[in-house]
Structure 1
């Protein structure tokens, strides 16, 4: 990609992040992204990353990481993750801009060497009902592509409380789980409440990532923390709790490509176990041709063994390739925040059968189950 094209792409991504993704949940990042998109000295820092990884979240994670190392700076007053309690005001952007430009080399280096790795624990609450449906009461092997630190591979070890209008709270997971997740579960018109079993039997866990996070490494864990949006400190608390659970019994994490090394990762699951493969906001980082290649690889694997894909992705990056005519239930109204689509894909005789299950908030706060 030419330099001018990358600059244009970076600006468009920053504007979209400000106007669509951050507005409903992060006033701080919405404010900073809006202004970063118009400031060449700031947005050009993102051109240090390959195009597929040059997203707003990577810029802000790099700044967050450098601020972690300089927490006495006045900018930290606007970062609740670092003890700050100031809301966005007229000083926020000037402080941010000055901080970034004074440390531009360190920030650019982080952008060049890292990718966004938001290991959002609350997404486990979105995946749990879909994984349970794929398992159908059987013990399974769980594989995650784009696993980061592998925290979603522990989804059977967390406690869940789904708040529903029809049935009140629905509880699942171990009774004394160290991690408790809450999710509002709404029903679209014509939908019925999904079956949510108390337990899922996960007998093997394998994660695949181009750069998996070692939670026992202080610097790597700090990067994972930096990828959490700073004005959402509850996410940091859940990250720490889930990391403690994972360290007690870690999954197998493999360094590799999402497509080229996927067969080897799936082969790590004993053949007697059906494979449930999960992705959560991973396809977003693959160009369209690689998204197609990923799904073709899944089809090949499914021809040889029992495999189901639980997809939690943006529609365009996930189910759109299998369900090109977007259902009305997945249409985004003008002015509506972006949303994820939870889907289930199975293969029969080489033919993919895809079904959208729910519309979701990106960070696991709520989902709307579909008919």
Structure 2
């Protein structure tokens, strides 16, 4: 394998361990930190192209292989598979041996799959931004990088936002089968966002290079494997949202995020303002294509009202509209990474954007910005 490729994935593993998983997932922080120093394990990620060679892909591939062997001793460290052991001196040796003994199976998954974590809790982050875009009007949702499309049902989930200023704020339908909780903090100078009880979504579409059919057992199992193994509450919410979607299936289209965007948007009723969603999706576009995506949204906005709600890394998304926001860049040497929630609209052909919040990646908390 080429040395630069190996060095790149080792760097990503180390950054993930120190800035993403630390304090959030003891198991994945431990495994990623050690994989970063192990050329054989880290090298498995070179089986895919650089933009998809993420630490979460390696961990998901091993998780999926372990799902097929739940009696293996390594499962004792995976709460998702019924394990109850905490991280100890035996965790890494077992993981390393299991992974390398099944290197062909792990490598095959890495070569043919991408991380498609359809994290339902992110709906709690998107809801206030979508509500701002809707401005109490019926809208259409189009999610780019939709995976199984669970976020497209965000109007059907209920939300409880815990605040210091106003206690618990409630939004969404009261009798929803999926209920989400999110800590909502205010940055200095910020005021609480408006959280309407109801959003009206008149059409919903998803666009993905490989959309997930939850009726397919293998595809369903892959999404389960993409959920971090020591966070069973996320697995429970995923299962609940998947069940709820059986009666409310959005239309998912296979295609390129940029080349096929106009054709999918053309299927949305013209009378509905279009709200385009991206959530942890822009990172997977090659860097030159990210600006192309923003330009494609601008072309759509020349023909109809368009808003873009983005929950992504700042450098991958909102930077193209709001440059020079050093406060939104990461990773920081002294802290965790974070997502940036943003809202963009177009006025007279010009993109006008606002950074709304800094967020935890999986929707558990956000800090609203002035």
**TM bracket, shorter-chain basis:** over 0.9
Aligned to 2:247: 248
Distance across 2 between alignment mates of 1:283 and 1:3:
26
Report the CA distance between 1:352 and its aligned residue: 0.5
CA-CA distance at 1:190 after TM superposition: 0.5
- Match of 2:227? 228
Q: Is the 8 A contact 2:330 2:338 kept in 1?
A: no
Secondary structure, aligned partner of 1:28: helix
SS in 1 for 2:302: helix
TM-score when scaled to structure 1? Answer: 0.98
Match for residue 150 of structure 1? 149
Structure 2 unpaired stretches of 5+: none
Q: Distance in 2 between matches of 1:102 and 1:9?
A: 24
Q: For the structure 1 residues 149 and 91, does the alpha-carbon distance in structure 2 shift closer, same or farther, using more than 3 Å as the test? A: same
Superposition map of 1:115-126 within 5 A: 115-126=114-125
Partners of 2:90 and 2:171 in 1: CA distance: 45
In structure 2, the partner of 1:272 is: 271
Segments of 5+ residues of structure 1 without an aligned counterpart are none
Residue 332 of structure 1 deviates from its aligned partner by 6.7
Q: Give the whole-Å Cα distance in 2 for the aligned partners of 1:197 and 1:333.
A: 34
Question: Is residue 338 of structure 1 aligned with residue 337 of structure 2?
Answer: yes
Structure 1 residues 210 and 331, CA gap change in structure 2 (3 angstroms):
closer
Match of 2:83 in 1: 84
Specify whether residues 331 and 304 from structure 1 end up closer, same or farther in structure 2 by C-alpha distance, changes over 3 A only: same
Residue pairs, 1:59-98, within 5 angstroms: 59-98=58-97
Output one character per residue of 1:311-364: Cα deviation in whole Å (capped at 9) or x when no partner: 101111111121111154767754211100000001111111010000100000
Which residue in 2 is equivalent to 1:204?
203
**Superimposed CA distance per residue, residues 1-53 of structure 1 (whole angstroms, 9 cap, x where no aligned partner):** x9332212111111111111110211111111111111111111111111110
Q: Which moved more, 1:265-274 or 1:148-157?
A: 265-274
Query: Residue 261 and residue 134 in structure 1: after superposition, are their counterparts in 2 closer, same or farther (change >3 A)?
Result: same
- The answer on whether the counterparts of 1:329 and 1:370 sit within 8 Å (CA) in structure 2 is no
Q: Distance in 2 between matches of 1:327 and 1:167?
A: 30
Deviations 1:42-71 (A, max 9, x none): 111111111110000000000000000000
Offset from partner CA, 1:191-239 (integer Å, 9 cap, x none): 0111000010001000001101001111100000000000000000000
3-state SS, counterpart of residue 19 of structure 1: helix
- Distance in structure 1 (CA, Å) of the matches to 2:176 and 2:363: 18
CA RMSD in angstroms comes to 1.2
TM-score (norm. length: structure 2) = 0.98
